[in-house]
Amino acid sequence: MKQLENKKTLYSGVQPSGNITIGNYIGAIRQFTLLSDQYNCLFCVVDLHALTVRQIPAELRRNTLELFALYIAAGLDPQKNIIYCQSHVPEHAELTWILNCFTYMGELSRMTQFKDKSARNQDNLNAGLFTYPVLMASDILLYQTSLVPVGEDQRQHLEITRDIAERFNNIYGNVFVVPEAYIPKETSKILSLSDPLRKMSKSEPDGAVFLLDNADDIRRKIRRAVTDSDAEIRIDIENKPGVSNLLQIYSAFSGESTDEAIGRFEGQGYGQLKKGVADAVIAGVEPIQKRYQELIADKGMLHQQMMNNAERARQIAARTLRKVYKKVGLYQG
Ligand code: ATP
Ligand code: LTN
């Protein structure tokens, strides 16, 4: 127990905004499982973030429980780690208000995710989309987090989180731990199979393989993946993004390095490469799918675990929020 307390804190979150892709798995959830023994970990289903894009209520509720089950199915233990739902811990929204007052309009307008998402949601350019990174900073800072494993697309959000934490600490003393991003190069950006110039994304199902897809769908999607015409198997993100992406997916699921993968498939043509990738993905997702089906069959148990974990998260979050309220001068009696 003592040793557990000495570990640093790791925090990450995934939005329940749709089905989880193998990009989310390789870039995020799988990294969590690889790191979880070395840290005190919190993994969040960030449902408040998902609201920045219009959601169908029944689907959001379903996706929330499914993502919770998937975290566990992927190998994260809800007893050792704290796996919980963001809206169950009201301190996230409360700290967000305070930190909004320490974040500049200018820095938020430079966020590329805001620019991308607002271009794609012209009919719903809401203020939540703009202050999304402040809610994310609150998630991270509430738990005195040292390490945040995320995909490349979140690098800028980690930088603004650090800036907000440092700005606050400079005024009020050391209130927040300033977190580091953990973004391993090879797994941080899995590309769309239909357009390998864009990242694979759960809100863009075209070009995405989902973690719960059946074997036939996985084979079909990978067989159709866009490649190029020179038939050479090597990593070259600039000139051969499609083939490089397939090699990276293969490597993540098979456990072989990309060099070993190149050795294995060299000279065999893209058809064989795609078959090998599909086999590796299917073998990798199969045990997760099996465990997931068992878990989702007992919703009562999942619900209970979710509530217990929210309580554990809340105790930590409340401590930080109390300190922040005091420091900024809110009358606490
Ligand atoms: P949305 O399409 O709703 O924005 P998303 O697929 O981008 O969703 P998020 O919930 O925003 O997924 O991200 C969850 C985690 O997965 C984050 O750490 C993010 O960086 C990572 N991630 C998302 N897409 C990829 C990808 N294509 N490759 C690697 N990591 C990714
Ligand atoms: N914004 C992230 C999800 C997210 C997150 C977090 C990740 C919300 N809060 C805290 C790490 C830590 C995304 O869109 N992928």
Q: Which residues line ligand 2 (CB under 6 A)?
A: 11-13, 15, 46, 49, 136, 139-140, 148, 150, 154, 157
Name the closest ligand to CA 31: 1
Residues 286-311: what's their mean pLDDT? 98
Summarize the confidence of residues 206-224 as an average pLDDT: 97
Query: Looking at residue 18, what is its pLDDT?
Result: 85
**Residue from 69, 81, 68 nearest 39 by CA:** 81
Question: Does 3 have pLDDT greater than 70?
Answer: no
Query: Among 139, 147, 155, 203, which is best to mutate for testing ligand 2, by the most ligand atoms less than 8 A from CB?
Result: 139
Q: Which of 202, 221, 240, 274 is catalytic?
A: 202
Residue located via tokens 């992406």: 245
The structural domains of the chain, with segments of one domain joined by +, span: 9-187+299-328, 205-293
pLDDT of residue 99: 98
Residue 117 bears catalytic tag: yes
Chain mean pLDDT for the chain? 95
| Band (5; pLDDT cuts 50, 70, 90) | low
The Cα–Cα gap between 147 and 111 comes to: 21
The pLDDT of residue 4 is 52
* Beta-sheet pairing, 40-45 with 82-85: parallel
Q: Is the pLDDT of residue 197 over 60?
A: yes
In this prediction, residue 324 has a pLDDT band, given cuts at 50, 70 and 90, of very high
- Taking domain 205-293, whether its CATH number is 1.10.240.10 is answered by yes
pLDDT class of 121 with cuts at 50, 70, 90: confident
pLDDT exceeds cutoff 70 at 173: yes
Atom of ligand 1 at shortest range from CA of 192? 27
Sign of the Cα torsion 65, 69, 74, 77 reads positive
Q: Is 8 a catalytic residue?
A: no
pLDDT value at residue 1: 45
- From the list 199, 221, 240, 274, the catalytic residue is 199
State the amino acid at position 66 in one-letter form: E
Residue 27 has pLDDT above 50, yes or no: yes
Q: Closest Cα to residue 85, out of 103, 107, 69, 74?
A: 69
Q: Tell how far the Cα of 71 is from the centroid of ligand 1, in angstroms.
A: 14
- Percent of the chain topping pLDDT 70: 98
**Average of pLDDT values for 13-23?**
95
- Going from the Cα of 176 to the center of ligand 2, the distance in angstroms, rounded, reads 18
Contacts of 238 (CB under 8 A, 6+ apart): none
Q: What percent of the chain has pLDDT over 90?
A: 91
Please tell me the distance from the alpha carbon of residue 243 to that of residue 86, in angstroms, as a whole number: 37
Residue 2 confidence (pLDDT) above 70: no
Q: Is the pLDDT of residue 23 over 70?
A: yes
Look at ligand 2, atom 11, and give the residue with the nearest C-alpha: 12
To test the pocket of ligand 1, the residue of 153, 192, 199, 244 to mutate (highest count of ligand atoms within 8 Å of its CB) is 153
CATH architecture of the region 9-187+299-328: 3-Layer(aba) Sandwich (3.40)
Q: What is the mean pLDDT of residues 147-173?
A: 97
What pLDDT score does 244 carry?
A: 97
- Is 199 annotated as catalytic? yes
Identify the pLDDT of residue 127.
95
Mean pLDDT of 88-106: 98
